[in-house]
Structures are given as structure tokens and as C-alpha cells.
Structure 1
Amino acid sequence: MSAPNRIDLLKRSDSLVGIDFVRVSPDQRQLWLYLHHKSPLPAGLLNSLNGLHAEQISIRSMDGGRPEQVRVLSPLPAVGLEHGRRIVGLQVAEPGGFGRYRLFVDHPAFDPYFNDIPFSFKAACDSDLDCVSEEQAGDVGERVDFPVDYRARDFWSFRQALLDFASQRYPDWQDRLEADLGMVMVELLSALGDEFAYAQDRISREVQFDSASQRRSLRHLARLVDYSVDNGSGARAWLNITVAEDGDGEWPLPGGTAVGDADARLLFEVGHGLRDRGREFYVSSRRNRFYPHIWDEDDTCLPAGSNSLTLKGHHASCFDADDAIDSGGKWILLATHPRTPDQPERRLMVRVPFGGARDGLDPLDGPTEITEIRWEQATPWPLDLTTLVVYGNLLPATSGETRNTSFRIGPPADPDGADAALPPAIERVGPNSCLGYDAGDNDSQRVRFLHSLPGSESLPLVWLPDPDNDRLSRPELLVRRQGDGPWEWLPQLVGETTASGHAKVFTLEDGSYRPVFDVQRSGRQFQFHDYATNDGSTIRFGDGEFGMEPSDGSVFTVEYRLGNGRQMNVAADTLTRFPEDSLPFVVAVSNPLPAEGGRDPETEESIRINAPQAFRNILHSAVRPEDFDLIARRELPWLQRSGSAMRWTGSWPTLFVTPDPRGGVELTGPQLRELELVTGRVRQAGRQVRVLEPRYASIDLELHICVAGDAMASQVREGVLQALFGNGQGSGFFDPDRFSFGTPLSRAALMATVQRVPGVRAVSGVRVRRRGRFGWRPFSEFILRVEHNEMIQVSNDRLAPDQGTVTLVMEGGA
């Protein structure tokens, strides 16, 4: 007769429970008894367990000799519930020893068979002892030493290795039919081993530059050596708008308006990108076109190198700067329309600065109203005035098509609301997308939320240069949380700028996630999303430690633009129509010049080649004194050069760095602190860096100048001073940027500069004095040398004569 399964009986009993095992707390002062019981626990039995007293529980040592008893202070006031199991908590007076103890409960609700259990207070402590006793470790039989083929790495080699093992270990199993259950298990294990081997190979490949196949892996490896992967760029173009003749009215053209080619396959949008979406650009029929005023029938050519033009009529107000486009001036188009094919067509964009247009009159012809305009850059080739037309309705445009998407975080706040239909963000737990990472001692987990941008797999996300940082490009992407406003994009959450746990930021990862497993079970559709392709872009939020972790129920809306790369560098006159019909005032549109700036993202092969070489080429640590100069000039745009010298200061070597600021001679406090941070970041351990103020060699000069007989001495004097010190528009001979550390003063260069001034017949003599070093003497040597850590200073400031002066002695003249 078979014995009953007592645990099954307890799980059906309404009056008894039993002890399953004991869990000991880390401080060994609390015990939890996990029970065998009926689920759910009957109310009467629960009340009986809550009445358990400390006197009904005993804990005694199981070792020989005098028995040791551990006093139970009290059970917890209520029976807890953990993972569907009822537990009883006990509080003991002190931890037990290293021996084994038996816990006994004398209570009518506990089964007599399962009312005691052996345990150890030190079960969770580290131990190098074998838990198997010598009595238990008997003869386990003869082991089969089977030679394992470690070259097995795919399904068929694993299958053959398992069959070889089965032939030796189980010789009686001879059936090799595919339907045999043993063969099914062999092939299942072989398939699982094949997947494991593939995963191991992929992981080992993705951690090296030469073998990584995923773009996101290459980007992460490049960041380790401070290499910035080029994301490419969208193309930029100018649009020439022709407005219907309607008087002097201004028509608003919204930023973000789409414009494309005849087939609407290549799309651009008005404005500089998403930042101009919603802004209005104004066009007018008054700026459709302007014609040049020809002063003389024999003067019909605007020569190369010109930067001015006279137009017919009064139009100065039409050339006012448009703050929405460029606050510094008005962009216009100069275009010739030759009447014969043998003449080349010319098109040129120029900018008329503020105040560059002025109304006037031609007094001989009528008089006739005219407008004189001046632009900044000179024309590279001559322009025929008889066919020249000036266009003034020019608007910027960037490549790309704006799209919108929405998604939610976790389960919807209202299962029946509109947010329930939104796609949820993809969740990944822990580092490297593993699925069981605990954040600290508690059971909470740090979750990464991901959302791939729809359509970015086939048409890449647009990147444009950052208007505030020329070295950084930004994605055309706006992420907003409902009721919370926009979130900020960061190149990476951990790097030069590390996001805090409360920062509302996100970053972009290469590749796209999409369903890779789809199955229907019990009438429900189950999908598993995973990394599927290198193409596309995916939004990634923080995990609560680096970047804020969005809360469940949050709804995000994303506005982004697709259309990156060199394929958007369209030819001139390609963008000829607005797909929208809401612009009745527009007669025609075209791009008079080819779009430019479109650039494909850096290829994987280019990253493999350039990232290691850039790390070797770009110096990030300073060892020699000249290394500090190189790094400082690279990191600080205001620094022209620095002088560095290593000295032993008694206990350790110290590097002294002296800066030469660009465009001046004085070092400001912020510049000093900025240089200290840069040099301190790249110095070697055990070496100090100190930034010193520049040392200047103040030079006084006395020039005797012979003035020509037909020149005024006062005018020549003014010209010499402008040649030496500039006139506010150009630099002079003694401009601070001409002299750096150790640069000598050349007598020949000084005299040549003076003698090029009109009216100077000769420089009859030069005297020199260096303050604090020597007095006045003839400047007879070829060059006046200074130390390697000194700079020549001649400011000629009468309020600061100690910074060097120039005295001019004029001889002769009219």
C-alpha cells in the first residue's frame, strides 16, 4: 500500500499547516517560516496562526553535549504573504552559533509531522566547506570520460557530438529516426547550442573595431577614444518666390511649408529647420525683381570684383534685413539672362548689410529715381547689366519632410482612453539589455525606454549644424511629454556632459527595433520587439540614474524630419512647386542655385579606419611643454599661442604656462580660469601646472622721417601711425597678434612698413629704448631679440606710456 503525499494533503487541509523551510535574515536575528498550506488560507486558520506565542516556539542546538537554546522573543504580529506563500516571522534574542539547530512549534494549527525543521543560522555565510558529508559521499559509480569536441559550433556539429556521446553512454539506444523522442531532444539541444554559439560569436565580434557589424557598437567604441562619428547633414537651399502683383502688400509664408520637385519626390521645407516651424516669412510683389540703372550706353558691364550696383526706382526699404532669415542683412540674387546661348548665365547670392541701400536721383535724366546698393563680397566674374535682374524674395529652405508620432510609457493611465491605442515604448532592463538587473539591495529595476522613429529606416533622420556650436550637429527632432513640455537632446547620457537622474533628457541610438516574434495564443496577439537593423534612429530615455526615467502612463509626441544625405543636393531649378494649395499669392517658386551641404553619414568602414588614427593623431595628454601649447590652442579659440617651460621647484617638476591671447595683450579672469582647467585636465600625475601672466618687452621707438616735398607732414604723420597701429578696420605693424613669444622686432620690416606710406621719402634714423633694460640708442642691429617667454609690446597709448610708445620726428614736406 502506497503512503500518502502529506504535502498535498496539507494543501487541501482547512485546519493544518506545515513548515516548508526557514529563511534567516542577514543580521541573523529574524527568521521567516515558509509554510505548506491551502491557498487561499482559510480565515479561521489564519486567525489561529496570528495567535501564535513565543512560548510555543523553541530553537535548540542539535550538536552533542549540553544543548543550547536560542530564546525567541516574539513572533511578528501578523502572518505575512510573499510570492503567494504564507510566512511566519520570528524575532530571536541573539544569533545562533555555527552548528545546526532544530526549530519546533507546539501549536495545534501545525501538522505533527511538519511542525519542526533543522536549519543553520549561518546558511547565508560564505564557507569553503563541502556541504556533503562523508557518509553521503559514497560510491557514485564509474564515470564515463567522454572526449568532448570543443570545435562543435553549429547545429550539425553539436548534433553529431551528442550522438557520439549517446552511442558510448547509452549503447542500447539504437533508434535514429527523426520522430524518436531521443532524436527530438538531441536536435532541440543542438539548435539551442547553435543559438548560444552564434550569440557568443556576435558578442565577441561587436567589442572590436575590425569585426563589429552594428553601427551602434562602432559608435560606442569610437566614444571610448573621443572620436565623434559624423551623422551627415541635410541639404540647404535658397528659394526665389514670385508673388502675384497686388500692390505693396506683404504675404506671410509659414516656416515648415513643404516645397518639392515636379513629382514631389524630393521635399524641402521653408526655413532653417524645425526651429523655424510656425515662424512666418514675408514676401512681397515689390521685391519680385529689380533692374539696374545704366548710367551710360557704353558702360553696360559690371566688372569682376564689384560690390555695388545702381537700381531703377526707389527701393531702399525693400532691402531692410529680415530678422527671421538674417538679422545682419538682406540676401538678394544677381542673375543674368543672356539672349544668346553662347553667353554664360550667371547667378550669385550676395548680402546687403544694414544700411547698404540708399535712395537717390540721377540728375541728368529727368531726374530719375535710383537706389544704390552695396553688398559684402565682391563679384567673382563680370555681369552684363543689360540682362541682369536682381531678385529680393529669397527664403531659406532645408531638406526633409516633417513627420509626427506618439507613444506611451508602460500601461495606459486609462485602459479605455485614447492613450490606450498608442504604441508602448520598448522596455529593456539593466545594462546591455539584459532582463534581470537589480538596482541595489531593493527589488526595483532600472528600465530603459526605447522608441524607434517610423520611416527612419528607409529615409534617414535630418541632422543640421548647431547654430551655437559649429563643431556639433543636432538632429531635427522635438520630443515633448504631454503636460510637461519639451525634453532636451544630448549626444550621450554619459560623457563630457553627464545627465543627472532628474534631467529631462534623451539621446539617439543607431538602428531600429521592430517585432521579431509574433504569435497568437488564447485569442490574444503577442509580439516581441528587438533590435532588428542598423538603419534608422531610436529615441532612448534615461534609467533614473543618468537621465530621468519617464513614469508609467506618460505620453510623448515626437516631431521629426526625414531626408538626410547627399542625395538632397539637388540641382538648380529643381524645387518648382508647393504641394500645398494654401498659397494662392505665389505665382512661381524655384531654387536658383544648387542645394548644398547635404552629406551622408560616416560609413562603418570609415569609422574603423579613422577612429583609431584620430586617437593617435589628436593629442589628449601633455608630456612635453610643447604639448600643452598644442592642446591649449586647439581647445581655446581665444588663445593665439602659449609659452611653456618645465622647472624643478624643489619637490616635483612644475610646468609654467604663459598665454598669448588673440586680439589683445591682457588676460581676463575667465580666460585665466579656462586655461587652468584645460592644462590641469591633460597634465601628468605628479606634475603641477601654473598659469602665469604674459611678460611683455615694452619698446620705445623714435623714427626720423624725411617727408617728400609735395606732401603735407601732418598727413604723412597720420598715414605712418595708421600703418603702424591700424585704423580700426585693419591691423597695423604693431598689432598684438603679429608678435608672440620670442618673436623679434625686425628693423628692415619696420622701415619697409613706414616707407610704403605715400609721402614718405626715407627713414633717416631709428632710435630704440627698452624700458627697464637699456636707454636710448641707435637701432643699428638687424633684429631686436627678446627672450623665449617674452613678447614685444608697443601700444602707443599716451595714457599708458609704460606699454611702449612711438615718437615721429617729421623732417621736410610742403
Structure 2
Amino acid sequence: MNPPGLPVCDDERRRASVRRAGLAGIDSVTVDPDQRGLTVTLFGAVPPGIDRYSFRIEGGRRVTGIQVVTATVQDSADGDPATEVHLALDRRGDPSPYRLLAVGDAFDSRYAVHEFGFRQQCPTGLDCRPADGPPPPPAGPAPPVDYLTKDYAGFRRLLLDRLALTVPGWTERHVPDLGITLVELLAHVGDRLSYQQDAVAAEAYLDTARLRTSVRRHARLVDYPMHDGCASRTFVCVETRTDLDVADPGELAFAVVPPGGPDAGPVITSDELRARGQVCFRPLEDRAIQFRAAHNRIELWSWGNEQCHLPAGATEATLCDGKMAEGHARRVLHLRPGDVLVLEEERGPATGALADADPAHRQAVRLTRVTPRIDAVEQVPVLDIAWDTEDALTFPLHLTAYGYTATLAVARGNAVLVEHGLDNTWGTGAAAPEFTAPDTGAGENDPWVGGKGPWVGRKAFAPVLPDTGLTWSTPFPDPADIAAAQARQLALLPDRARDRIRNLLHADSAPTANDQHTLTVLFGEETLRAVGLHEDHRRALATLLSRFDHFLDAGLRRLATLVRQARSGCVLSEEDVEWELVRSWGPDALAVRPGSPLLHGPASRALRTDPRSALPRLLLRPEIPAGDRPQEENGPGQHKGKPHRHATASDRTYAANSAPWKPARDLMGCGPRARHVVAETDDEGVVTLRFGNGRAGCPPVPGTKLRAEYSVGNGRAGNVGPEAINRIASHTLRPGGITGVRNPLPAAGGTDPESVADVRRAAPREPFRRLLRAITADDYAALAQQQPGVQRAAASLRWNGSWYEADVALDAQGSADVPREMLDAVGQALHRYRRMGHDVVTGPAVQVPLDVALTVWADPDHIAAHVKQAVLNVLRPGPLPGGGRGFFDPDALSFGTPVPASRLIAAVVAVPGVRHAEVTRLCRLNATGADTPADGLLRMRPLEIARLDDDSARPENGKLDLNVQGGR
């Protein structure tokens, strides 16, 4: 601190001069916490002979004349010359300023005085540094500026007004004048900056954002996935004269060609497809396609009945499979589980005419079971087929009718699942666009170049696709559906093995070599030798069947682990199936391979699309220079039929560099090596590609050439009607033998991109719509009810003595019994939502069998037996002939649903021929004091479901006593 009256200046040069002269000066003064001493820091060495008379204290207002008692030189800890002196005082000072004076010739007079205060430990919150220099002069009045001016004309007017004040002599206003040119140029720049500020401010909020990209990112913050539409799907049936195998489905494309113009048949070239096709479709499945002439039209077998039909809800049928020749079945069908058939009403059941067929009576089903049989009466080979309950018929399908010999309904094979869109490389001369990642000179610290140091940020590489209308497709088959189907197939492996042993046990002959090989795979040679399979095969097979769980204990436990893994959503790979399951469970385990069409789910599920889970049909393949590729020892194809060569470092580098960039909805969950790209569509349909930054997603190496392969075709434009798809084309050749192409079912699922206005309305409410955590019992019930196959669920929280347990009761759709697979699947699904500290226990609902007695009076002109049968049909579980379900059907009753006597009477009285009805007993089965409640309402507890099957074979599920009086 400088003494008053001395100039304020930079004194480092003066201090250096003082040190060179051997003098000292006061640098700082520190007051002890008890204010009874001072620590004086000197610059330069402490002069010799320092004592208490070398310092004097002046100043003070209330306390003056403070004396120095002692002066002690404090030695330096590192051996340097001492620079501090401690002064002991006789008393404390007041808060007023004091001055410390150093006396003697050993001190420089410029630095012999230092001002200090005794209240240094009292913080004031102000900067202790003194102001540098004199205070600035007072600012003049600010020029008047209209801050509401935001456009070119306003800025031009303000600039001219300001110039009129500052340069009053300049009055030129002609446009060619240089001053006017500068004014207009500055006004233009201000207008552009103002627009940019407004645009940035508008895009910062969801309510005001105008760009689709900004709205998408705002919605993503509240976990609302804004979708860009979805492509439509349908099944196309191909008719052919000869059998045709297509190894690569990508070689085919289907189109809607309007009538008119040259018609050369259903097969067209790739050029004609692009020129004439209004809406194009491509196969969605990647497996090889086989077209069979026998699958063009397959008759449904009616077993010789004249009046035969498949009711609504049917899941089984029989097909005619050729004829008998010389006592042998000559079969023509090559159907397998996983194939798709389209059941179609070909003729009207009322008239038998082709024109009277109902086009709405068509449905695609995916086969789950195919069993060849022979009709012993008609001597015709037939094929029993079955499909999933999700594909159950939604309408009655008539096979035959009185007076008509022609078949009314048929099955169409050669069905291909297609999706709207066509690859950009499809067609003669088409080439995929290429993009090159720019080299921005990241340098040796770039891990993609030098492999060391942190990732250095570079300018964003955001190429733009040249085409609009990018196809957005829901993943098919969905990995979650594949994992669930694998879990079901794994759980069936032990039962299939038992059935195989049971069939061998009841066979007339000894096991064949193939059967013995299968048994060896299951049990091992040592076990088969121990049970004596080669000595007495029947006794050995009976032993294997009775001790099945004991012999295969380790395999069953491993299988249970794989089932739990699959139910959690993990898809078992081809290697897992081939190397473990097939070697442990035989050829039955081949049905678990991910590529099996049996795992693709029901046909109805393939036609359902969710635009919020859709991803673009896009792939970016890097172009690897030939010199960077690994050299094979014996040329291409050396591994085929030869011992496997261990992968080298060059192989691994090439595999990593050649991996394509795949689409993802966002990059937040991507690792630093994940090759994912995000496609962002703007309001004009232009697609911009966004890559990762090296931490979330792997960006392309500078200089990498990327080849974009994508599909074009999206939205409601693909929702064409039935019989609209009529042409087929091949990418490289013209397929022969095809006589017809048609889509019996309309294309569905095509959705246009979600509008910005819809996102503004829906996104803020999204966090309140979806349930992401289970806290209360109602939360567990609501989440369980969202699982497939669950009609309704109820839950309760119970303290089991150590922690809380969420007991979830399930009511299955269409059945009173809940399968074990559903209980395990729901429990696995709820595990990720459960509250910490809660255990989830799933179980079936508490079934309450009922005891009901009714007295019914029939009209005299109705037969009593017919009235009784009609009343039983109305009350018993099952579908009603005119639609609906029975009164005691499992789907009509759920948790806590009471059984009112009034509704029961109303249902009975509505039957034709019933004059009057009374409920004489309505209670729980085997209840004491059985009678009808006084208020006529039999109540159920929250986790209870009433049940009445009226099955004499299972009386424990409820009984119904029906007494019909009157009638004939």
C-alpha cells in the first residue's frame, strides 16, 4: 500500500534497484490474530542490527502512541536470507488507519513507510486492491436507439438519423452516393444478423421452433420419439407354371402398373419397372424364396362333407395334397412350418359364383405345424396345418355348400411379404451415391490417424442424400419377437424328446440307425450301453422315458438358463445353436436358429407396423483400398472345405474397417466404436446424415469413401388396395414361368411423417402418459396388463417378513387357465420396472367356481329340449353363433367382477322360446348355507374371478342346474 501523496506507478524497476543497492523496504504488514503483534515482510535482506527502535508506529484516533516492545528476526526455512521481522506491541490499536515507519539508513526512504490497519481479519466483501489511476470521466448521454427495430428499412432510417446528428453537413440521399451505399450495406448486415438472432431464439423452444430437426430434438428431451413415417406392407402371391428358386430375394421387385399401354404379361424388366411402376415394393425377408406350381391354388379338404366351414377363431385346417397312385401317396405340396398361406373365399357360399365372393374374407396365416395324413375313405393324401392363435380366422370360411360341387375356399401359397420402397441401386445403370469424409487436418493426436491422444474435434461431417422419401421400416423380424419365440421353442425341446422316445417305444420295429444316433446325442453312448439298448430296446426305452429328468439333469438345467436368457430379450446366435443345442438335443434344436421363419411370428404381426420404432432402410459401406485388404494364402475361397485359418491382425483390422454404418434413432446409447448413423429429415424431405463424435458413435476416418445404399418409398402412398400389385421384375434377369402376380390383401401400415404441430401438442404430455416405474400395486397391474395375452391383471403389495412382495395375478385372454410360460414372461418383463426392494411374484388369478340353479318356463309352441340347449349355449363359456361370448366365458369375467342375478335372468329371457326365468341358487361352490344373496349380487374379492364351466368331467370348475318347465 502506497503512502498518501505518493504517485501510483509500476515500481518493479525501483524495487530491483533498491535490492542491488543493498537497501531494504517494507513490502507488507500482517497483523497477528490477537492484534498484539505485527509481521513485517521486507524485500531485500533484513539489515543487521534491527531492534525495536528501528520501527515506529504513528496514527490512530482513540488509541495512540503504540510502542514496539520487541523486534525478532524470523529465519527462513530454506536457508535463504531472512525477510520477515516480528514486532511485539504493548497494546491493541483501534480500527482507524496506522502507519509503520522504518528508521535508519538501511531502509530506502521510498519504501520506509507503510499504512496498515488492525482490523485486517474483518471481511468487507469488497476488493482490497486500490483503484488504478484516476476515476474515468463521466459518460455522456447515450444516443437514442430504437431497440424494436428489426428490419432493413428500420436500420436504414436509424443510420440516416444518426448521421444527420453527427454529420449535419452531409445531406446527400441519392442511391449512387458512397455514403448511402455504406448505409444500405450496414442496414443489410443488421437485417441478416437480426434474422439470425430471431431464428436462434425461436428454435430454442418447442412452442416456437419451426425447423423439424429442432422440434425432433426438443421432443427427444422428454423421451418422445418423433417419427418420420413408416412404409406399408402386404403379402404378394406369385403364380408360376414351373418351380422357381430365388436365392437372393433382393433380386425381385413388385410394382403397381395401371391398366393401359403395352401388356407383355406379369413379368417386366427393371427399366420398365422404374418407367411404369407407380408404387414399387420389395421382399422384406432375407431367406431364399421357392415358388412352387402346386402352391398356386391349394384346395381346402372338407372330408367329403357337403356343408363344411371353418368357424371364426379357427386355427387348424386340412389341405388336399395330391392323389394316390399304385397304392402310394403322390404328394405335391412342399409346405413347412414358417410358410405363409393366404386363405381366400373363392366363390360366394350363397350362389357358388366367383363374382359373389367376399373380398374381405381373406386372411394370411403363418403355419406352425404341418402333418401329412391320408384320408382312408376317399384315398386322398391330405395335409393337416395349424397356425398361431394371433392368426385365428376373423370370419367364417365356407368350404362347401349344398348344391355346389366346386370348392368355395382355397389357400394361396408362394406368398411373399413385401414392403413399399425400392433400393436406389435397383435398375439398369443405377449407382449408389458416394460421400468422402473431409480431411480437416486433425493431426497426429487424432486416434483415427495416429492412434494416440484424445479425440480432437473436427468440423461435422453431415452429407445429404440426393433422394427424398427415404423408406422408414419397422424391424422385421423384431429381435424381441425372435428371442421370445426362441424361448418357446427351447421350452418344447424336452417334450419333443420325450415324444420321440415314446413313439419309438410303441413302434413295431427296433430303432433305426438314425434313431440310435439321435438317442446317442441325447443321452450319450455310455448311458445307452448301461440301459441295454442293443439287448432289449423296449425295456431300455422305458427306462430312458421314466428316468428322463435324471439322465438329462445337467442338460435341463442348462436349457432352463438359456430359456431365461431368451426371455430377457437376448437372441441366441447361429453359433450357439449349432455348437451347443444341436449337439445336446439333436436336430429338433434347428428350429431355434434365428433364421428360421418359424420364429418370425404370426402373419398378422408382420403386417402391424409402429412408426415410432421404425428405422431408415439405409446402409453406408466404406470403400477399403485394395492395398489395405488382407492377402489370403491360397487365394479367395481357400477356407471352403479346408481347415480353418486363425484370424490374423490384418484380418481383424480389415473386418473392423469394412463394417458398415447402420442406422440408429440416436447416438446417446452408442459406444465409441459403434458404427451408427442418424438420418434426420427436414420439412422438405431432405435427409441429412449425422455421425458420432468419437465418444458416442464412431465417425468415419478422414478421406474414407462411403457408399450409400438406401430405399426410397414411404408413407400412405403405399397403402394400395387388394389386387393392385400386378407386376414382378428381376434385377439381373427376366424370370420365366411366372403367370400371375397379385396381392389378395390390401397394403397396410403406411404412415406419413408426424407433423410439427402434432409433436408440439403430444410431446409435453408424453411423460404423464407412459408408466416407466412400478411404485404402487396399481402400477404393477397396469404394466402386467400391457403384456401380450393378458386380458387383465391385479396386484397387491404384501410384507413377507423381510421385504415387500408384489403379488401379481393374471387373467389370460380367452382361457381360464394361465400357462406357465405367460407367468414367467410377465415376471421377467416386470423385473425391469419394479421398485428397489420389491420382489415380483406372478401367479394365476384366484378362480371361484360357482353353483348356479335356474328354473326356466318355455313357451308352449317351443320344444323344451331345444330351449334348454339354447339357454346352455348362452350361459356356457365359448363363442355364440351370432357373435359375442357366453355369459360365463373367461373373457366376459375378470377380477372382482360380481355376478348379478338380474343380468343372468336378462340373458336367459333373451333366448327365443323363454317365457320366464328365476334364479333359485347363486353362490360359491360347496359354500355353507348356499342360497342367492338378498340383493341378488354375488360379489368377488379384488383378486378373484368367477368361473362356471358346467363340465361334467371337471365339476370342480362350477356347475349349472337348469330346470326347464313347459314347452313341448
* 1:410 matched to 2:438: yes
Q: Post-superposition shift, 1:619?
A: 5.3
Please tell me the residue identity of whatever aligns with 2:808.
Answer: P
Q: Would you say the 8 A contact 1:332–1:349 is kept in 2?
A: yes
- CA separation of 1:474/1:284 partners in 2, compared to 1, >3 Å: closer, same or farther? same
Deviations 1:540-599 (A, max 9, x none): 222233333444344444321111122223342443242646134234342243641252
Paired residue secondary structure (1:452) = coil
Q: Name the TM-score, length of structure 2 as normaliser.
A: 0.49
- CA separation of 1:281/1:128 partners in 2, compared to 1, >3 Å: closer, same or farther? farther
CA distance in 2, matches of 1:693, 1:312: 45
Q: Name the TM-score, length of structure 1 as normaliser.
A: 0.57
- CA separation of 1:190/1:586 partners in 2, compared to 1, >3 Å: closer, same or farther? farther
* 1:490 matched to 2:664: yes
The gaps in structure 2 that reach 5 residues or longer are 1-19, 29-39, 46-78, 81-124, 258-274, 324-328, 387-391, 425-431, 442-452, 481-608, 625-654, 856-868, 880-884, 912-917, 963-968
Please tell me the residue identity of whatever aligns with 2:182.
Answer: M
Q: Post-superposition shift, 1:303?
A: 9.7
Residue number in structure 1 paired with 2:291: 283
2:675 to 495, 500, 504: 504
Residue number in structure 2 paired with 1:569: 719
Please identify the structure whose Cα radius of gyration is greater: 2
* 1:355 matched to 2:370: yes
Residue number in structure 2 paired with 1:268: 280
Residue number in structure 2 paired with 1:544: 694
- CA separation of 1:668/1:607 partners in 2, compared to 1, >3 Å: closer, same or farther? same
Paired residue secondary structure (2:686) = strand
- Write 1 or 2 for the structure with the bigger share of helix: 2
- Count of paired positions: 594
CA distance in 1, matches of 2:356, 2:620: 48
Q: Post-superposition shift, 1:150?
A: 1.2
Matched ranges for 1:588-607 at <5 A:
588-593=739-744, 595-604=746-755, 606-607=757-758
Deviations 1:176-222 (A, max 9, x none): 45455444433332222111211122223334445432222222233
* 1:611 matched to 2:762: yes
Paired residue secondary structure (2:693) = coil
- CA separation of 1:316/1:132 partners in 2, compared to 1, >3 Å: closer, same or farther? farther
* 1:395 matched to 2:423: no
Paired residue secondary structure (2:726) = coil
CA distance in 1, matches of 2:133, 2:462: 56
- CA separation of 1:648/1:195 partners in 2, compared to 1, >3 Å: closer, same or farther? farther
Please tell me the residue identity of whatever aligns with 1:478.
Answer: L
Residue number in structure 2 paired with 1:516: none
Residue number in structure 2 paired with 1:675: 830
Q: Post-superposition shift, 1:158?
A: 1.0
* 1:251 matched to 2:259: no
* 1:203 matched to 2:200: yes
Q: Would you say the 8 A contact 1:267–1:401 is kept in 2?
A: no
- CA separation of 1:668/1:350 partners in 2, compared to 1, >3 Å: closer, same or farther? closer
CA distance in 2, matches of 1:671, 1:462: 30
- CA separation of 1:620/1:398 partners in 2, compared to 1, >3 Å: closer, same or farther? closer
Paired residue secondary structure (2:685) = strand
CA distance in 1, matches of 2:373, 2:454: 75
Residue number in structure 2 paired with 1:242: 239
- CA separation of 1:545/1:350 partners in 2, compared to 1, >3 Å: closer, same or farther? closer
CA distance in 2, matches of 1:189, 1:443: 41
Q: Post-superposition shift, 1:703?
A: 9.5
- CA separation of 1:319/1:753 partners in 2, compared to 1, >3 Å: closer, same or farther? farther
Please tell me the residue identity of whatever aligns with 1:778.
Answer: A
Q: Would you say the 8 A contact 1:448–1:549 is kept in 2?
A: no
- Write 1 or 2 for the structure with the bigger share of strand: 1
CA distance in 2, matches of 1:746, 1:480: 67
CA distance in 2, matches of 1:737, 1:238: 31
Residue number in structure 2 paired with 1:661: 810
Paired residue secondary structure (1:160) = helix
Matched ranges for 1:207-606 at <5 A:
207-245=204-242, 249-252=243-246, 254-256=248-250, 257-262=252-257, 263-272=275-284, 276=286, 279-289=287-297, 313-314=322-323, 317-321=331-335, 327=338, 329-331=340-342, 335=346, 343-344=355-356, 348-351=362-365, 353=367, 354-355=369-370, 358=373, 360=375, 371=382, 377=393, 378-379=395-396, 386=406, 391-403=412-424, 404-411=432-439, 444-445=456-457, 448-455=460-467, 457=468, 459-464=469-474, 466-468=476-478, 471=610, 472-481=613-622, 483-484=655-656, 485-494=659-668, 498-511=669-682, 534-571=684-721, 572-578=723-729, 580=731, 582-593=733-744, 595-604=746-755, 606=757
Q: Would you say the 8 A contact 1:352–1:373 is kept in 2?
A: no
Matched ranges for 1:628-667 at <5 A:
628=779, 631-633=782-784, 636-637=787-788, 641=792, 643=794, 658-663=807-812
Deviations 1:242-275 (A, max 9, x none): 3344xxx543263121233444333534421xx5
Paired residue secondary structure (1:548) = coil
- CA separation of 1:313/1:328 partners in 2, compared to 1, >3 Å: closer, same or farther? closer
Q: Percent identity?
A: 21
- CA separation of 1:596/1:310 partners in 2, compared to 1, >3 Å: closer, same or farther? closer
CA distance in 1, matches of 2:423, 2:851: 68
Q: Post-superposition shift, 1:163?
A: 1.6
Q: Would you say the 8 A contact 1:332–1:394 is kept in 2?
A: no
The gaps in structure 1 that reach 5 residues or longer are 1-55, 71-92, 95-126, 414-440, 512-532, 682-687, 707-715, 757-761
Matched ranges for 1:57-206 at <5 A:
68=43, 135=133, 137=135, 139=137, 143=140, 145-206=142-203
CA distance in 1, matches of 2:769, 2:191: 43
- CA separation of 1:137/1:752 partners in 2, compared to 1, >3 Å: closer, same or farther? closer
CA distance in 2, matches of 1:237, 1:737: 31
Paired residue secondary structure (1:187) = helix
CA distance in 2, matches of 1:392, 1:280: 15
CA distance in 2, matches of 1:556, 1:154: 43
